Amino acid sequence: MGGICGFCSDPVNFDGEVDLYHFDLHRAVGKGAFGKVRVVEHKKTQKLYALKYIDKARCIKQKAIANIIQERRLLEEIDHPFIVNLRYAFQDDENCFFVLDLMLGGDLRFHLERRGRMEEEIVRFWAAELASAVHYLHMQRIIHRDLKPDNILLDSMGHAHITDFNVAIHYSERRLHTSIAGSMAYMAPEVVGRKGYTWPVDWWSLGVVLWELLFHRRPFDGRTSEKMTHSILKDPLRFPSNVNEYVSKEGQDFLRGLLDRNPRTRLGCRNGRTNGMDDIHDHPWFSSIDWDSLENKESQPHFVPDMKKANFDVTHELDEFLMVDKPLTHSKRKVNPDLEKMKPELRQLEEQFTVYDFTKTKRMSYYPHNQPIVTSNHQDDLEPATVLPSATNTLVPTATVIERSQAGSPVMDFDRSQACSPPLQTIVTDECMHSRHSS
């Protein structure tokens, strides 16, 4: 009778397909556009995970079905020590569920707001871990497109992990993308300038993140989207006057290398996709990093979150306690739903948001198989790359699903330049999910 829980009449079938009954629900630790993030415990293994659940009705209303399916597929492809990895995926009649590695150390936006700027040795260690993750994603032909402090989570030891693949896409070797996706303050010049872009944009975004961690402000800013765009495209990179008190010459050089407006000469991008990490490994700023030890998580981070305190906004729990939100409950699915009678969007979720169980399923790639594998267009200037046109020039705001609540903050309300910048919502045009390398 070990599978029977307190008030349940049916035992949990751990040999069957994974569902919500396999988990005990604990506290809420995050809130996004379509649902929340809860700590859950697998009843059989007693392992703790983060459960990200997405309300299907809200998802349909905001026309985000393609994003959710895309995120689900991309997460199945990746497994890396510095990424928040997918462990299970399933759905019930109301929600889609992602069960992910649990990160109780909080996101870097949370710590920036509480600590202010971070010491160089702390940031250098995270930079090495994040560079390792970014390179891994690019080797899987994935661009994250939304690297920012909000989307970097710490585990209880202080290791950094990239999360939120809601606007991530596969890139093509032959075609550049032009869709605007991500959070504007972290977008590379080739994105806001609509020149066409590919994987080097993530290295630029990483540079902006590191700058913000070190100086508690961003390198390029503006109160409107026009001023922000001009700043990213034209403003000189200006270090604070007392920069030498905060960051070594090597660190300054590393930041300059990432924040190079030319993607062909940007640090991490100079030798084409496969060798770009050599630039990072060999950079003097990382001379103290043992990369093998780092990637095995044997190196000790220089910042360890205080686990005696909540490293997240505790109002998420209060919302549920006060019944502001409908509480998540275990519910049985309708038996054999009639796909023909379903709304097209619900049917699409039913068919494409498939069950995933990391203990039973091998990770696989959904990368389009008809793509020729050739050298990156940043390496080969002899043949100009095709640019994927944007279907619209209108910016459509959408909050990143796993972000902490940012209700009411207008997408284009950018900060006053000197102060620590508030979180920005993610921007995505509707082309970004529909132009996945159609031949």
Half-sphere exposure in the Cβ direction for 105 (13 Å, CA): 19
d(CA 178, CA 439): 16
* pLDDT, tens only, 9-31: 568 888 889 999 999 998 888 77
Q: In the chain, where does the domain assigned CATH 1.10.510.10 lie?
A: 108-307+371-428
Mean model confidence pLDDT for the chain: 79
CA-CA-CA-CA torsion sign (140, 145, 151, 152): positive
Assigned superfamily of 20-103+309-357: Phosphorylase Kinase; domain 1 (3.30.200.20)
Q: What are the tokens at 84? A: 């928040």
pLDDT at 51 over 70: yes
Residue 307: pLDDT band (50, 70, 90) is confident
pLDDT at 433 over 80: no
Is 43 annotated as contributing to ligand binding? no
> Is the separation of the CB atoms in 52 and 97 below 8 Å?
yes
pLDDT at 320 over 70: no
pTM across the whole model: 0.80
Backbone angles phi, psi at 160, to 5 degrees: -95, 140
What separation in angstroms does the CA of 99 have from each of 14, 19, 40?
16, 10, 8
DSSP 343: -
Q: Which residues, 6+ apart, have CB-to-CB distance to 136 below 8 Å?
A: 78, 80, 82, 83
pLDDT at 414 over 50: no
Q: In the chain, where does the domain assigned CATH 3.30.200.20 lie?
A: 20-103+309-357
Is 146 tagged catalytic?
Answer: yes
Highest mean pLDDT among 63-67, 181-185, 287-291, 411-415: 287-291
* pLDDT, tens only, 111-150: 999 999 999 999 999 999 999 999 999 999 999 999 999 9
Find the catalytic residue in 55, 101, 146, 260: 146
User: Nearest 5 degrees, angle CA 268-CA 212-CA 84?
Assistant: 65
d(CA 66, CA 240): 42
Please tell me the predicted confidence (pLDDT) of residue 273.
56
Please tell me the predicted confidence (pLDDT) of residue 347.
86
* The CATH number of the domain covering residues in 108-307+371-428: 1.10.510.10
d(CA 244, CA 221): 22
pLDDT at 245 over 60: yes
